[in-house]
Amino acid sequence: MTDQSVPKARTSADDNIGRPRTADGISRRTLLGTAGATGLVLGAAGAAAGYAAAPAQATPLSSLGAGRAMFHGKHQPGITEGLQARGHLIAFDLTAGASRKEAAALLRRWSQTAERLMAGEPAAHGDTDVARDAGPSSLTVTFGFGRSFFTRTGLEQQRPDALAPLPEFSSDRLDKARSNGDLWVQIGADDALVAFHALRALQKDAGSAARVRWQMNGFNRSPGATAHPMTARNLMGQIDGTRNPKPDAPDFDRQIFVPDGGRPSWMANGSYAVVRRIRMLLDDWEQLSVTEQEDVIGRRKSDGAPLSGGTEATAMDLDRTDKAGDLVVPVNAHARVTRPDQNGGAAMLRRPFSYHDGIAADGVPDAGLLFICWQADPLRGFVPVQRKLDRGDALSQFVRHEASGLFAVPGGAAQGEYVGQRLLEG
């Protein structure tokens, strides 16, 4: 087993219970929860409730389709679950006529829809049938608030200090139109149609209250494609996610989530998402030899092991030298430079999607990473590490940050509550 990067999934209404993914990409706990004692029954019942007209044989849920995350809980879904095969990120701006009241109604509608769809049920009104016949497929929907939301709704007093604009990094090439936004929605699912279905339902729910500011579409390896490596690869071919904080580590919650009693109080058990659309300059990258590529990261491409030796899970020996006396993990290697112990303890949970939007106007692939990282405080997570990368690690010349967002993602909604209710009605 590797030093597994894929965190846990939510399988109960009020807690996150870890779920290492099995070789087919499905959590045993999820299977137990859905396909086990009650799960397949729940899945079938959910489907039957929504799609009663479909013949029974039209909904043969595979183990993939049966995967289900819970909407209600301590934290919102979509943070600690394993990576899903499909993702959509959408930012909305409130429309001119919309105020706090309309925003509250929108979050209520969105929460109701998310809860239904995550249970494999159709949207309450005008369902499009796109996910008909499919199970929940590990769908998660996550909602966040951008800095501008608080100005638009007159809630400046409630705005977290942690939503201060990210510093401008010298290497940034940011498109403002595809950055930030009043509201942010992250959708993930292991089935493309299930993810698209949720996207359309949530867009329609926005009605006249909010309009789409930007949308980005991403993907990861499909569950079942391989048993090894368990950690995902990115579009540069690297195993990416090895050293993510582990949910069972003692300081995981402190690093990733705002504590009970944290400020502002409505953010208790919430987290901050930094979203960066990072273009990979693949034509340049692919000209490097594998050895050169490995020196850029400091890890082997084949299995993710540190260049100092061992397996993916082996601790990196930062001081090891070769016969010539040179460090085997170069001093500017990305995996050396980004380590918490090189950045005053800065830690973040990376949960990205890859993206590919064809060939851009500059004639090279518009492809890269929808880098999403989660932390209790971006000033103690993303910012110090990106400051260091901005000064130039070995990877910097092969990537370009083209869009950026920072969002406050409140804790999970309790039963009967909608996401953000403590902010909007507090």
Ligand X SMILES: C=CC1=C(C)c2cc3[nH]c(cc4nc(cc5[nH]c(cc1n2)c(C)c5CCC(=O)O)C(CCC(=O)O)=C4C)c(C)c3C=C
Question: Which residue stretch of 17-25, 122-130, 337-345, 405-413 sits at the interface with ligand X (rule: CB under 6 A)?
Answer: 337-345
* Cα 135 to Cα 257: distance, rounded to the nearest angstrom: 30
Contacts of 110 (CB under 8 A, 6+ apart): 141, 143, 185, 202, 205, 418, 419
Closer to ligand X at the Cβ: 182 or 240? Answer: 240
Q: What sign results for the dihedral spanned by CA atoms 149, 155, 158, 163?
A: positive
Choosing from 127, 240, 295, 393, which is the catalytic residue? 240
The distance of closest approach from Cβ of residue 135 to ligand X in the complex, given in angstroms and rounded to an integer, is 30
CB atoms closer than 10 angstroms to residue 221: 14
The distance of closest approach from Cβ of residue 313 to ligand X in the complex, given in angstroms and rounded to an integer, is 11
The distance of closest approach from Cβ of residue 363 to ligand X in the complex, given in angstroms and rounded to an integer, is 20
Helix (H, G, I), strand (E, B) or coil at 365: strand
What is the contact mask toward ligand X in residues 392 to 411, using x (rule: CB under 6 A)?
-------x------------
Q: Which residues pair with 299 in a beta bridge?
A: 306
**Considering only residues 34, 242, 255, 354, which one is a binding residue for ligand X as defined by CB under 6 A?**
242
**Considering only residues 26, 258, 389, 409, which one is a binding residue for ligand X as defined by CB under 6 A?**
389
366 exposure class (CB count in 10 Å sphere: 0-12, 13-18, 19+): middle
54 exposure class (CB count in 10 Å sphere: 0-12, 13-18, 19+): middle
CB atoms closer than 10 angstroms to residue 292: 11
**Considering only residues 180, 238, 255, 293, which one is a binding residue for ligand X as defined by CB under 6 A?**
238
**Termini Cα distance of the chain:** 46
Closer to ligand X at the Cβ: 89 or 389? Answer: 389
Question: Which residue stretch of 25-33, 111-119, 147-155, 241-249 sits at the interface with ligand X (rule: CB under 6 A)?
Answer: 241-249
The distance of closest approach from Cβ of residue 350 to ligand X in the complex, given in angstroms and rounded to an integer, is 6
* Cα 249 to Cα 336: distance, rounded to the nearest angstrom: 21
**Considering only residues 241, 264, 378, 420, which one is a binding residue for ligand X as defined by CB under 6 A?**
241
Closer to ligand X at the Cβ: 284 or 425? Answer: 284
Task: By CB under 6 A, tell whether 234 contacts ligand X.
Answer: yes
**Considering only residues 195, 232, 335, 403, which one is a binding residue for ligand X as defined by CB under 6 A?**
335
Report CA 262 to chain centroid distance, whole Å.
23
Question: Which 357-386 residues touch ligand X, going by CB under 6 A?
Answer: 368-369, 371, 382, 385-386
Is residue 30 within 8 Å of residue 67, measured between CB atoms? Answer: yes
Question: Which 297-326 residues touch ligand X, going by CB under 6 A?
Answer: 297, 299
Question: Which 243-282 residues touch ligand X, going by CB under 6 A?
Answer: 243, 276, 278, 280
Residue 228: both structure tokens together: 């090894």
The distance of closest approach from Cβ of residue 262 to ligand X in the complex, given in angstroms and rounded to an integer, is 22
412 exposure class (CB count in 10 Å sphere: 0-12, 13-18, 19+): buried
Contacts of 55 (CB under 8 A, 6+ apart): none
Question: Which residue stretch of 55-63, 135-143, 211-219, 333-341 sits at the interface with ligand X (rule: CB under 6 A)?
Answer: 333-341
Does 240 qualify as catalytic in the annotation?
yes
The distance of closest approach from Cβ of residue 373 to ligand X in the complex, given in angstroms and rounded to an integer, is 6
CB atoms closer than 10 angstroms to residue 416: 7
Helix (H, G, I), strand (E, B) or coil at 355: strand
Closer to ligand X at the Cβ: 213 or 334? Answer: 334
Closer to ligand X at the Cβ: 240 or 295? Answer: 240
Closest among 221, 188, 187 to 5, alpha carbons compared: 221
Residue 291: both structure tokens together: 């050895």
* Cα 379 to Cα 372: distance, rounded to the nearest angstrom: 15
The distance of closest approach from Cβ of residue 392 to ligand X in the complex, given in angstroms and rounded to an integer, is 13
**Considering only residues 10, 21, 147, 334, which one is a binding residue for ligand X as defined by CB under 6 A?**
334
Closer to ligand X at the Cβ: 100 or 400? Answer: 400
Please give, one letter per residue, the 3-state secondary structure of 28-80.
HHHHHHHCCCCHHHHHHHHHHHHCCCCCHHHCCCCHHHHCCCCCCCCCCCCCC
Question: Which residue stretch of 45-53, 236-244, 323-331, 409-417 sits at the interface with ligand X (rule: CB under 6 A)?
Answer: 236-244
User: What does the binding site for ligand X look like in residue numbers (CB under 6 A)?
Assistant: 234, 236, 238, 240-243, 276, 278, 280, 297, 299, 334-335, 338-340, 348, 368-369, 371, 382, 385-386, 389, 399
Residues belonging to the active site: 240
